[in-house]
Amino acid sequence: MNPRTKLILVGSFLLLGIALGAVLAAVVAIYGFHIPLNDVANITIDPDRELARAILWMNNATQVGAFLFPVLLAYVLFGQKDLSPLKFKIPLWFYVIAPIWILSANGIIDLLAQLNKAIIPAGSALEKLLLPAEQKGEQLVQLFLQSETGIPMSLLLFSMAILPGLCEEFLFRGLIQPLLIKTTNRIHLSVWVAAALFSFIHFQFYGFIPRLILGAMLGYLVLWTGSIWPAIIAHITNNAIALAAYYVNNESMEAPISTTNYIVSFIFFTAITYFIYRHRQNKIIA
């Protein structure tokens, strides 16, 4: 089976996984939290604190179905050779520097987020189309983080940092990116297409550009280190920092950044990027 056919099949796996995720979420709601079937579809339309834990576990089930199931199915049908390397034995410093690299990009990501918001005109038809989904996503996140819900920090860390980091990296950098490379024979194009798909599937377009850049960084990290695990660690770190930023600011997932911090961020990011690139495992990646 050629890579193009496999890539098409992965697309069908993803659709199947989304459907499976919806079923798993319904099962969690009905049997785990005793929510009537008729109420399951509307649970996130007007969520309240009493249902916060149920919604969180439903979201976990959705991620496993939509993102992890396609990878497992592809692994069974295609084998390991079509996935990014899962090897742990790479230079130890890659594991250390990967989360530092992501943190160093914080200022750049923040600037891109502001740019992203600026290109969506206030009061425009585009804003009316995109803003409700953004507000709904932020509403759910803030609901999860309210102390009144009684959700422990360990569960929040698992659900909002660890699980997404694992599931999304296995799908986009672990499966889709290598298949794109084999299909197109264009490494950089494949990295950016996988990153664009990664950003798009979140359906929160006020953060599309910074999420695109983050996805590309993680894509190159997999190629440069020769393993998916540093990218997973970096992704989890990025999510955990966003989670921690809420408690620092009390009302926002975004921490305020000064001009000095932007400059320092750019300098550190450039230096670390150059260092990782110079010591990359795959010297073909130019």
pLDDT single digits (tens) 60-110: 999 999 999 999 999 999 988 888 888 888 999 999 999 999 999 988 898
**Distance (Å, rounded) from C-alpha 196 to C-alpha 182?**
18
Confidence grade of residue 177 (pLDDT, cut at 50, 70, 90): very high
Q: Is the pLDDT of residue 248 over 80?
A: no
Q: Which of the pair, 168 or 40, is modelled with greater confidence?
A: 168
Q: pTM of the full predicted structure? A: 0.91
What is the torsion angle, in degrees rounded to the nearest 10, for the CA atoms of residue 182, residue 183, residue 185 and residue 186?
-110
Task: Taking residues 139-154, report their average pLDDT.
Answer: 82
Question: pLDDT by residue (tens digit) across 6-54?
Answer: 999 999 999 999 999 999 999 999 999 888 888 887 787 777 778 888 9
Q: What is the pLDDT of residue 276?
A: 93
Reply yes or no on whether the pLDDT at 141 is more than 90: no
Domain locations in the chain?
84-278
Residue with tokens 């991620």: 63
Does position 253 have pLDDT exceeding 70, yes or no? no
